[in-house]
Amino acid sequence: MRIVLCMSYDSPWSIMIAQELQSLGHEVHVFDFAKRNAHAYVGVGNPRIAADIERLKSGISGFHLLNSPVSSEFKYVMGAPELRRVAREVRADTVMALYGGGFGLMAYLSGVRPYGVYVVGSDVLKAGSMRRVINGIVLGHAAKVFANGEYLAEQTRLQAPNADIIELLIGVDVEAFKVSSFPEGPFQFICSRGFTPIYNNEAIIEAIARFPEDTPDFRMVFVSGGPGLNDAKALADNLLPPKMRERVIFWGGVSYDELTSGLSSSHAFVSMSRSDGTATSLLEAMATGLYPILSDIPQNRPWVSKDLKNGTLVPLDDADLLAGAMLDVLRDRQSCVRLAEVNRGVIEERANARVNRRELARHLVEAVESHGRSRR
């Protein structure tokens, strides 16, 4: 099967899907825009990210970038004819949009059939009234719509009741993420969410500002970049005393290998996201055995069990409770060790990416075959 993937070529989860589909014997072509805006996922100018992108290029069948004269959302409308041209040139059997917003609209407008869409979070959950109308059309005409989690699938059905929606987690590579060895040095929290308003990383800095002076030694590592990174650094400079500020570290974006290494040297994962599909970063952390401290939103609740007590949910915008949750686990690192295999087991059972990508490929093949039969 020949597939054109409309995707952000600097998105780690999209890169993994492209590489996995190619490894399953399919011919994968990536289609994206050459000029990245300020809200790019991790920033292609980062040399560490560039290495991952080069591996992507060498591991797939084709890499097609469009130089759009506009940077607004209208670029997806203008890009549809070029997507159609590329699909014809490579004799694509299907187009797959790895995001239900602009990429989904472009797939629909290209006229290539069948096409699929993977909705992941804000493309549905943050949709305004006009976007909801567009989603109903785009998703309703898609051969298959994949939703990254149960809650997201439910919300997608409200916008596109006629769509063929399949709940299928993106998941994580459980072979790449191993249970942490839990180093004996300072306790390390890690957050791998990007610096955009929806991920709300600033709430973590505000919580640390409430830590007492006698807090045991720790590190708080922010892995990702993003348009709000410099503002977050300034916030840390302003809120945190010098000794506390030294413990808060900003990496500004790392390669896939550096991410796995960073998780393995950590003890707990913190995310105060305001909205999500199912956060791949959370699944990566749990696969590494980390203890999750999460915002209490519907998308996070399936991963923290009251019976297992394998994590902590914290109400949004409550810096005092977040500080308390972080201090509790900091003062009892053995709880992380005890629950490592439990959290790992949850991911192995429900979010094994290699299993789920084979399922994705199976559904795409089914859509192509069904389309062929209907044309005959």
- What is the distance of C-alpha 180 from the center of its chain? 21
Instruction: Provide the whole-model pTM.
Output: 0.83
The answer to the question of residue 178 being in a domain is: no
pLDDT of residue 303 exceeding 60, the answer is yes
Nearest CA among 207, 196, 213 for reference residue 268 = 207
* Domain limits for position 212: 187-350
**Alpha helix segments (H runs only) across 288-352:** 319-330, 334-350
Do 276 and 223 reside in the same domain of the chain? yes
Do 275 and 324 reside in the same domain of the chain? yes
Number of domain units in the chain: 2
Query: If pLDDT is split at 50, 70 and 90, which confidence band does 376 have?
Result: low
Q: What is the pLDDT of residue 41?
A: 42
pLDDT per residue as tens digits for the range 174-186: 998 989 777 788 9
Q: What is the pLDDT of residue 42?
A: 44
Query: If pLDDT is split at 50, 70 and 90, which confidence band does 40 have?
Result: very low
Q: What is the pLDDT of residue 373?
A: 81
Higher-scoring residue by pLDDT: 82, 35: 82
Query: If pLDDT is split at 50, 70 and 90, which confidence band does 139 have?
Result: very high
The answer to the question of residue 261 being in a domain is: yes
Amino acid at 105: L
Q: What is the mean pLDDT of residues 167-171?
A: 94
Torsion, CA 294, CA 299, CA 302, CA 308, rounded to 10: 10
Do 236 and 369 reside in the same domain of the chain? no
Any residues with CB less than 8 A from the CB of 148 and at least 6 apart, and which?
Answer: 118, 119, 120, 121, 168, 169, 170, 277, 278
302-339 CB burial, b ≥16 within 10 A, e <16: ebbeeeeebbbbbeeebbebbbebbbebbeebebbeeb
The answer to the question of residue 179 being in a domain is: no
Do 76 and 165 reside in the same domain of the chain? yes
Do 315 and 359 reside in the same domain of the chain? no
Do 277 and 357 reside in the same domain of the chain? no
E strand or H helix at 295: strand 291-295
Q: Tokens for 339, please give them.
A: 């629950």
Helix pair 102-110, 75-89: axis angle to 10 deg? 50
Report the CATH number at residue 230: 3.40.50.2000
Q: Report the side by side order of strands in the sheet with 165-167.
A: 62-66, 27-33, 2-6, 94-97, 115-119, 144-147, 165-167
Most confident of 3-12, 105-114, 300-309: 105-114
